[in-house]
Chain A
Amino acid sequence: RKEVEQDPGPFNVPEGATVAFNCTYSNSASQSFFWYRQDCRKEPKLLMSVYSSGNEDGRFTAQLNRASQYISLLIRDSKLSDSATYLCVVEYGNKLVFGAGTILRVKS
């Protein structure tokens, strides 16, 4: 099993749609989890941390299932500006391991 695995997509959705991304990880001892966003030819930026109880930030909701070693990101009411690559990131000891990313394209 890869350290962090994501569906690469692309996910092509219309504006206003709800879209969900999933991610699995292999290290059951991992304690910290994140979603980063990377725009085309730009650097990754933190979108949100993922907590055990689940957390929400505006239109974005992140969930963690430790038993299944699974993380999700839900985006509601998609905007054109949400088009980007979403990177699932998992802590492995003193380093972060990045998934290859899921491409989202929001179309008008």
Chain B
Amino acid sequence: DTAVSQTPKYLVTQMGNDKSIKCEQNLGHDTMYWYKQDSKKFLKIMFSYNNKELIINETVPNRFSPKSPDKAHLNLHINSLELGDSAVYFCASSKLLVSSYEQYFGPGTRLTVT
């Protein structure tokens, strides 16, 4: 039933570790996104993919590497985690790469780096 799902929901890890977050959408959408929401609640786009092709890379450190094995999946791998990476990461999808389309968000992954 779930339209956009993410795993895990919570992730607690130590500085320097490498972790991955997975995202899947069953809406048949062409475009997927990763957003970061920090402690001040700003929701900022990190990446967007359209049909497995990277479209937006919003000046994110190269420790963050998205991977889209197919258009229903967009995973996020983070190397050498830092304290400042603590945030909620949301995956989203939209029908097309056109900003007038509604974006559907996953439930978020709350990452805490200690």
Genuine A/B complex: yes
Mark A residues whose CB is within 8 Å of B.
31-32, 34, 42-46, 49, 85, 87, 91-98, 100-101
Interface, chain B (partner A; CB < 8 A): 40-45, 48, 55-56, 58, 90, 97-100, 102-103, 105-108
Residue of B nearest to A8 (CB): B41
Q: Which residues does chain B contribute within 8 Å of A101, judged by CB atoms?
A: 41
The reply to whether A100 and B40 form a contact with Cβ atoms under 8 Å apart is yes
Which one of B48, B90, B103, B108 has the highest number of Cβ atoms from chain A below 10 Å of its Cβ?
B103
Chain B residues with CB below 8 A from A87, complex form? 43
A91-B100, A94-B56, A96-B99 known; A43 vs B105 contact (CB < 8 Å) = yes
Give me 7 other A-B pairs in contact (C-beta within 8 A), A42-B107, A94-B55 excluded.
A32-B99, A34-B102, A93-B99, A96-B45, A98-B44, A100-B40, A100-B41
> Nearest residue in A to B110 (C-beta to C-beta)?
A41
What's the minimum C-beta distance from A39 to chain B, rounded to whole angstroms?
11
Interface of A is mostly: strand
From known contacts A91-B99, A101-B41, infer whether A43 and B90 are also in contact, taking CB-CB under 8 Å. Answer: yes
CA distance A74 to B58 in the complex (A): 32
Residue of A nearest to B48 (CB): A95
Least CB separation from B106: chain A residue? A43
Counting from the closest, the 8 A-B pairs by CB-CB distance are: A91-B99, A43-B105, A98-B43, A32-B100, A46-B102, A32-B99, A95-B45, A100-B42
Contacting pair A94 B100 (CB below 8 A): no
A68, chain B: closest CB distance, angstroms? 21
Q: Which residues of B contact A92 (CB under 8 A)?
A: 99
